[in-house]
Amino acid sequence: MPPRTLFEKVWDAHVVTAPEGQSALLYIDLHLVHEVTSPQAFDGLRTAGRKVRQPLRTVATVDHNIPTTPRGLPITDPIAAKQIEALQKNCREFGVPLFDMDSAEQGIVHIIGPELGITLPGMTIVCGDSHTSTHGAFGSLAFGIGTSEVEHVLATQCLPQTRPKTMRINVSGKLAEGVTAKDLALGIIGRIGTDGATGHVIEYSGEVVRGLSMEGRMTLCNMSIEAGARAGMIAPDETTFAYSRGRRFAPKGKDWEDAVAYWRTLASDPGAKFDRVIEIDAASLAPFVTWGTNPGMVVAVTARVPELKSFALDADRRAAEQALAYMGLNPGTPVEEIAVDRVFIGSCTNSRIEDLRAAARVAKGQHVNPKVRAMVVPGSQAIKHAAEVEGLDRIFLDAGFEWRESGCSMCLGMNPDILQPGERCASTSNRNFEGRQGRGGRTHLVSPMMAAAAAIAGHFTDIRNWRFN
Amino acid sequence: MPLDKVNVDTDQIIPKQFLKRIERTGFGEFLFYDWRFSGDGKKIADFVLHAPRYTEASILVAGKNFGCGSSREHAVWALADYGFRVVIASSFADIFSNNSLKNGFLTVRLSDEQVAEITRRAKEIEGYELTVDLEALRVEDGRGFSAPFAMDEFSRHCLLNGLDDIGLTLQHEPDIAAYEAKHPVSAEMTAILAG
């Protein structure tokens, strides 16, 4: 057998059939479901008189629409309430396990999968959400799908797929202090653009990637979609096995041993060919801040908002001009002079315990600038409780941050956590599109440490110069 | 209708506040909402969608990377519900392309130059008309512009024949069952329902 990439191995292992002249039919090991993209899919099943083929391979939670204020209060938005009720009704009717709002396991769907040991290496994982790419950190093929495909997977547990191309992004060197997986992700998108990896599955490799914790790898894979990638993958290794071992739904005993033996084969063979290879030197990275209205519009915190004449292509210059107008920024402004109104530490990109520890380290003994409103939203109930045991909540509250219940929160403004028009936010989320966090809201994507620092300073500041207490 | 923008993301096509509906229909009135209406609900007069000359438009022409961002299929539903049947652009985001196919909505990829040419003609010529022929895989305007476009043959076949995706997959039931027999659900996952 010729040498194969990690992607090819996982793909090949899941092909149910590959009919001549048609797309291959892939089996889906795990289908994650949330309240926003599923109602029409379940309705479709109902209309066609179909059942969910594999309820035990389907796991649901509520995350996008729910408030992050204390649980138990009624949901004030009637349409959100209706959507959540629809999910509850659908899961009951079709026998799908649901980690509901009152559950100790509830959280953002891409956080709880790995946390519970449901997400494991070598799987095919789909969800009606583009940041499904997160699970690729385990060496699984994980990608976002639309509602019609959600219905398709519910009905058949399979998905016809055209085979994507492969891209290897090799990161060598060493991440400097203050430069995180989030900055690596932003650096990559800044370099290749928001369509740089369209049609490709990215495999991240190299000593820097090997050195990332599982949480760092999840941040990196999470952002793959922002480069246009179909999915992002990292080969599993001892770090992966140590993370998943013993988790509630991970295999145990002999099943675990057998699983690990198989997972050890999930690496790209020497000599395996990729359609594209990109080399990144960690020395080229810095703490980054987006200035525009897509994640590719990004510079180092020590740099300036770009001049319009620096854009060679006419369409790019016009896009930059429109972005600067929307963001209320002037070309040439040093990023460290940009003041913020709000700070959001949360989202499936950066709301895990290591993210919270990093932000708490910055916040310890400091106080949020009086002009800033800052909130910390842990990615799951489990993370919230772990953070409280470690006293991180106290550090945040003492410093004047709000400490919230888990959910997608201000990443996308579908719930009460929303920016007002013109408000400028330092956010650890994944998208800075116009209106993403609220109509007229101005989003700047950063790492958790950079967000905490901005909350305290009142403006963006280079975390590498921070004086920790 | 020439939407002369690049990287049009799905947050612009259908902003998140409209994703709370549980039906597939009725999204057309929210298409490009934040570009059409200001915060107080007033029409933003110079947005291209309001121009009377484009009221009947069923073909949208846009710049590269159309449909990037979130996987929300609602973006396709909004475009289709509004009355568009085709988007022509120099590139599309993968998830958006996939979602389009599921809804009989056509994404047509032409070169940057061809897109620029059509955009120019649409803006300059009153009553400009374009024909997208899925059978012949060709875009023409009857005024000298003619360009072929490519499409995966199987997808084209399904679109032309209105084939039901799920029905097609279930034709492979024996293969699916055989796969499942070799890959049972784990003991731990089986325990979830009890938990």
pLDDT of amino acid B78: 94
Secondary structure E strands in A240-349: 276-281, 288-290, 298-300, 342-345
> What proportion of chain B, given as a percentage, has pLDDT over 90?
66
Alpha helices by DSSP H, A199-303: 207-210, 214-222, 238-244, 253-263
What's the residue count for chain B? 195
- Please tell me which of the candidates B20, B39, B193 has its beta carbon nearest to residue A421: B39
User: Distance (Å, rounded) from C-alpha A350 to C-alpha A221?
Assistant: 12
Tally of CB atoms within 10 A around B148: 11
Q: Measured between CB atoms, does A246 come within 8 Å of chain B?
A: no
Mean residue pLDDT across chain A = 96
Q: Measured between CB atoms, does A88 come within 8 Å of chain B?
A: no
What's the residue count for chain A? 469
**Residue B3, CB half-sphere, CA atoms under 13 Å: how many?**
31
Closest chain B residue by Cα to residue A85: B22
- Asked which of A203-212, A309-318, A363-372 is least confident by mean pLDDT, the reply is A309-318
- How far lies A193's CA from each of A289, A431, B13, in Å? 15, 13, 20
pLDDT tens profile B127-141: 899 999 999 999 999
Question: What is the amino acid identity at position A440?
Answer: G
How open is the CA angle A248-A252-A256, to the nearest 5 degrees? 120
Torsion of CA A391, A392, A398, A400, to 10 degrees: -160
Contact of A443 with A290, CB cutoff 8 Å? yes
CB contact under 8 A, A37 and B64: no
User: Distance (Å, rounded) from C-alpha B181 to C-alpha A54?
Assistant: 13
- How far lies A126's CA from each of A5, A63, A96, A109, B186, in Å? 20, 16, 15, 11, 18
Q: Residue range B12-19: average pLDDT? A: 89
Contact of A411 with A429, CB cutoff 8 Å? yes
Tally of CB atoms within 10 A around A390: 14
Transcribe B117-155 into DSSP letters. HHHHHHHHSTT---EEETTTTEEE-SSS-EEE----HHH
Specify the residue for token string 């949330």: A34
**Residues A209-221, buried b or exposed e (16+ Cβ, 10 A)?**
beebebbbbbbbb
Contact of B132 with B159, CB cutoff 8 Å? no
Q: Pairing mode, if any, of strands B59-62 and B86-89?
A: parallel
A vs B: CB pairs below 8 A: 189
Q: Measured between CB atoms, does A420 come within 8 Å of chain B?
A: no
Residue B3's beta-bridge partner residues?
B62
Residue B62's beta-bridge partner residues?
B3
Q: Which of chain B's residues have a Cβ under 8 Å away from the Cβ of A414?
A: 16-17, 19-20
CB contact under 8 A, B175 and A17: yes
Torsion of CA B60, B65, B67, B68, to 10 degrees: -170
pLDDT class of B194 with cuts at 50, 70, 90: low
| DSSP state at residue A357 | H
Specify the residue for token string 């040439």: A332
- Closest Cα to residue A59, out of A156, A154, A159? A154
- How far lies B54's CA from each of A204, B41, B50, B129, in Å? 45, 21, 8, 10
The values of phi and psi at residue A80, to 5°, are -60, -40
Specify the residue for token string 């299929």: B73
The values of phi and psi at residue A200, to 5°, are -120, 150
Give A398's contacts (C-beta < 8 A, 6+ positions apart). none
Does the structure show a pLDDT above 90 at A305? yes
Strand, coil or helix: A30: strand
pLDDT of amino acid A80: 86
Does the structure show a pLDDT above 60 at A354? yes
| DSSP state at residue A303 | S
Q: Which of chain B's residues have a Cβ under 8 Å away from the Cβ of A50?
A: 166
pLDDT class of B195 with cuts at 50, 70, 90: low
B158 versus A402: which is more confidently predicted? A402
CB contact under 8 A, B11 and A433: yes
Does the structure show a pLDDT above 90 at A342? yes
Q: Measured between CB atoms, does A3 come within 8 Å of chain B?
A: no
- Please tell me which of the candidates B19, B152, B166 has its beta carbon nearest to residue A156: B166
Q: Which two tokens stand for residue A170?
A: 């090799």
For residue B137, the distance in angstroms to the closest alpha carbon of chain A comes to 18
pLDDT tens profile A185-213: 999 999 999 999 999 999 999 999 999 99
User: Distance (Å, rounded) from C-alpha B64 to C-alpha B110?
Assistant: 10
| DSSP state at residue A409 | G
User: Distance (Å, rounded) from C-alpha B112 to C-alpha B106?
Assistant: 18
User: Distance (Å, rounded) from C-alpha A111 to C-alpha A118?
Assistant: 11
pLDDT tens profile A149-175: 999 999 999 999 999 999 999 999 999
Does the structure show a pLDDT above 80 at B193? no
- Please tell me which of the candidates A95, A128, A162 has its beta carbon nearest to residue B152: A162
The values of phi and psi at residue A423, to 5°, are -70, 140
| pTM > 0.95: yes or no | no
B164 versus A100: which is more confidently predicted? A100
A263 versus B126: which is more confidently predicted? A263
Alpha helices by DSSP H, chain B: 10-13, 33-36, 74-82, 94-101, 112-124, 153-161, 165-170, 173-182, 187-190
Q: Measured between CB atoms, does A13 come within 8 Å of chain B?
A: no
Residue A170's beta-bridge partner residues?
A205, A279
